[in-house]
Structure 1
Amino acid sequence: MKYLNLIRYKNLLLLAFMQLVILFGFLKMQDIPLALALWQYYLLIISTVCIAAGGYIINDIMDQDVDGINKPKKAIVGHSISENFAYNLYVAFSIIGVGIGFYLSKIIGRPNFVTVFILCAALLYIYSTSFKQIMIVKNIVVAFLLAFSILIIDLFMIFPATDMTNREQMLPVFSVLIDFSIIAFIINLLREMVKDLEDVNGDYNNGIQTLPVALGVARTTKLVFGLSFIPTICILYYMYVNLFELQFATVYILGFLIGPLLYFSMKIWSAKNKKEYAHLSDVLKLIIFLGIIAIAVIGINMKYYAAQ
């Protein structure tokens, strides 16, 4: 179990689940050509998961002192697993992820796309060793990597299968995934800021510059409150422009995305302690999960509407 906790298996399962939902709940509903066969898409998921797992491991290696303060009961590296063994696991996961990425890049006839996997692995390493010390930058990097796990599907499934004969059919699907990645980025950025609020004591004691350390907990909380309305406005605007005719999808989004986001906004205004920030971080994680389901709801509703 300690090894599963080291790689944050719950987060990795959520990542894999998201990519499966995008395939079976959305892309397969669109009746469009896809660049990868099903088993190759599974390899894309494995590659993404491996690189993410490597990122979690190297982050724990570099965060041993901070975790000793923020999460003393959950610290793994240096306690139940040696730092040397953890580093070997990091290297193994990263090599597997990049290796599969190289294979898939050749399959779709874009061998230079392996750079995407190399850059992701390198970005996770730099984040753990350097970016984490830079206020805001570390939050943006983590939020971007979640969004990119959606964009990589565009790059490997849709873009290589697009040509002049099907461009009009493929571009709307390409655009939907970009829109979802942007919303996922914003929500995950909020979650990273809330996690900084939760971990402010450990970050302060270890000299890590975060918004709560620089601005204070109260000001950062109010800032997060203000920013929390951005994804709500974006989702409502997107729904009005693109999903107005999809009644079931509209009801789902209002009830399961807008509702929880408004709940978060109300609660973050008065949040003051670690327990409340941890709860709100979980709320945002739930919203991300519900957003994943929304992709399938929209895909199914679009197919049903087209059949009418």
Structure 2
Amino acid sequence: MKYLKLIRYQNLLMLAFMQVLFRYAFLKGQNIPLALSDWQYALLVLSTVLIAGAGYVINNIFDTETDQINKPQDVIIGKAVSESLGYNIYIFLNITGVGIGFYLSNVIQRPGFATIFILIASMLYFYSTTLKQIMVLGNLVVAFLLAMSVIIIGIFDIFPATIAENKAQMTSLFSILTDYAIFAFMINFIREIIKDIEDVNGDYNQGMNTLPIAIGISRTAKIASVLTIIPFILLLLYIKNYLVENGLFIATLYAFVLVLAPLLYFIIKTFTAKSKKEFNHLSTVLKLILLFGILSIVVITLNIHYNA
């Protein structure tokens, strides 16, 4: 159990679930060629999970002192797992994940794509050691890396199978994946800001320069609330243009009840939140919004088939 906690297995399971969902609940139903076989796609998911797991391990190593203040019950490095063992696990996960990435890049005859895995692993390392201490930049990096876990599906499964005859359809599908990646980026960026508010005491003691340390908790919460208006408006427009216009009313109802309504709740609640418990609750709300947002791909796909 201690090793599962070290790699934050719940987050990794959600990441794997998201990637499996996009392929088998969406792409597989589109009657298009895909570049990877099922077992090769399983390797892509595994590679993503291993590199993300390595990122959590290195983050736990460098966050030990901060976590002793913010989340003492979650400290693993130095207690259940030694620092040296932590580094060994980190190296093993990264080498395996990047190695699989090299293999898959050669499978699709794009060996240069292996640099994507190296860059992601490097960014996770530099985030833990340096970038997370730079105000807002660390939040942007984490949000970008989550978005990349969606984009990478298109890079490895759609792009290599694109030919002149199916280019329009493949471009459209890649565009849908990009829309979901942007949604994941925006929600996760806001969630990272809320998590900074939760961790403000430990971060301050470690001399970090996060947004709530620089401008205060109350102002940061208001900024998070205002920022959330952007995805809220964009989603309203998206629902109108793509769901309502195409008569996808089940998907529209789903989006209003399980994505837009919780977003509105978050916007209002953030203005009044004060305690760490309240911000932890808001962080969970955003995690659920992200989950239900990703699940909407299933609802939309089923709604299209139902209408047909």
Question: Normalization by structure 2: what TM-score?
Answer: 0.98
Give unpaired runs (5+ residues) of structure 2: none
Contact kept in structure 2, 1:26 and 1:300, CA below 8 Å: no
SS of equivalent residue, structure 2 residue 171:
helix
What does residue 270 of structure 2 align with? Answer: 268
Q: CA deviation at 1:25?
A: 1.0
What does residue 118 of structure 2 align with? Answer: 118
1:250 aligns with 2:252: yes
What does residue 227 of structure 1 align with? Answer: 227
Question: Counterpart of 1:168 in structure 2: which amino acid?
Answer: A
Contact kept in structure 2, 1:140 and 1:189, CA below 8 Å: yes
What does residue 166 of structure 2 align with? Answer: 166
Contact kept in structure 2, 1:136 and 1:210, CA below 8 Å: yes
SS of equivalent residue, structure 1 residue 188:
helix
Matches within 5 A, 1:280-295: 280-295=282-297
CA offset digits 1:120-155 (Å, max 9, x no partner): 000000111110111100000001111110000010
Matches within 5 A, 1:33-112: 33-112=33-112
Contact kept in structure 2, 1:25 and 1:299, CA below 8 Å: yes
Rounded to whole Å, the distance in 2 between the matches of 1:190 and 1:70 is 19
Question: Counterpart of 1:270 in structure 2: which amino acid?
Answer: T
What does residue 24 of structure 1 align with? Answer: 24
Moved beyond 3 Å, runs of 4+? none
Q: Which moved more, 1:247-256 or 1:187-196?
A: 247-256
Rounded to whole Å, the distance in 2 between the matches of 1:236 and 1:37 is 36
What does residue 217 of structure 1 align with? Answer: 217
Contact kept in structure 2, 1:108 and 1:156, CA below 8 Å: yes
Distance 1:29 1:304, change over 3 A: farther
What does residue 142 of structure 2 align with? Answer: 142
What does residue 298 of structure 1 align with? Answer: 300
Give unpaired runs (5+ residues) of structure 1: none
Percent identity, aligned pairs only, is 55
Q: CA deviation at 1:302?
A: 2.6
Question: Counterpart of 1:62 in structure 2: which amino acid?
Answer: F
Rounded to whole Å, the distance in 2 between the matches of 1:264 and 1:86 is 36
What does residue 10 of structure 1 align with? Answer: 10
Q: CA deviation at 1:304?
A: 3.4
Contact kept in structure 2, 1:55 and 1:125, CA below 8 Å: yes
Rounded to whole Å, the distance in 2 between the matches of 1:95 and 1:301 is 42
Q: CA deviation at 1:168?
A: 1.2
SS of equivalent residue, structure 1 residue 73:
helix
Rounded to whole Å, the distance in 1 between the matches of 2:290 and 2:31 is 26
SS of equivalent residue, structure 1 residue 97:
helix
Contact kept in structure 2, 1:212 and 1:220, CA below 8 Å: yes
SS of equivalent residue, structure 1 residue 80:
coil
Q: CA deviation at 1:292?
A: 1.6
Contact kept in structure 2, 1:64 and 1:75, CA below 8 Å: yes
Contact kept in structure 2, 1:29 and 1:303, CA below 8 Å: no
Rounded to whole Å, the distance in 2 between the matches of 1:33 and 1:101 is 21
SS of equivalent residue, structure 2 residue 294:
helix
What is the total number of aligned residue pairs between the two structures?
A: 306
Q: CA deviation at 1:303?
A: 3.3
Question: Counterpart of 2:137 in structure 1: which amino acid?
Answer: V
Rounded to whole Å, the distance in 2 between the matches of 1:231 and 1:25 is 24
Question: Counterpart of 1:268 in structure 2: which amino acid?
Answer: T
Q: CA deviation at 1:56?
A: 0.1
CA offset digits 1:13-54 (Å, max 9, x no partner): 000000111011111121111110011000000000000000
Rounded to whole Å, the distance in 2 between the matches of 1:303 and 1:103 is 36
Rounded to whole Å, the distance in 2 between the matches of 1:224 and 1:132 is 18
Rounded to whole Å, the distance in 2 between the matches of 1:110 and 1:304 is 38
Rounded to whole Å, the distance in 2 between the matches of 1:292 and 1:92 is 30
Rounded to whole Å, the distance in 2 between the matches of 1:168 and 1:73 is 52
Q: CA deviation at 1:187?
A: 0.2
Q: CA deviation at 1:239?
A: 1.3
CA offset digits 1:49-82 (Å, max 9, x no partner): 0000000000011111101111111100011110
Of structures 1 and 2, the one with the larger relative CO (CA 8 A, separation 6+) is: 1
What does residue 205 of structure 1 align with? Answer: 205
Question: Counterpart of 2:27 in structure 1: which amino acid?
Answer: L
Rounded to whole Å, the distance in 1 between the matches of 2:249 and 2:199 is 41
Question: Counterpart of 1:89 in structure 2: which amino acid?
Answer: I
Rounded to whole Å, the distance in 1 between the matches of 2:219 and 2:169 is 47
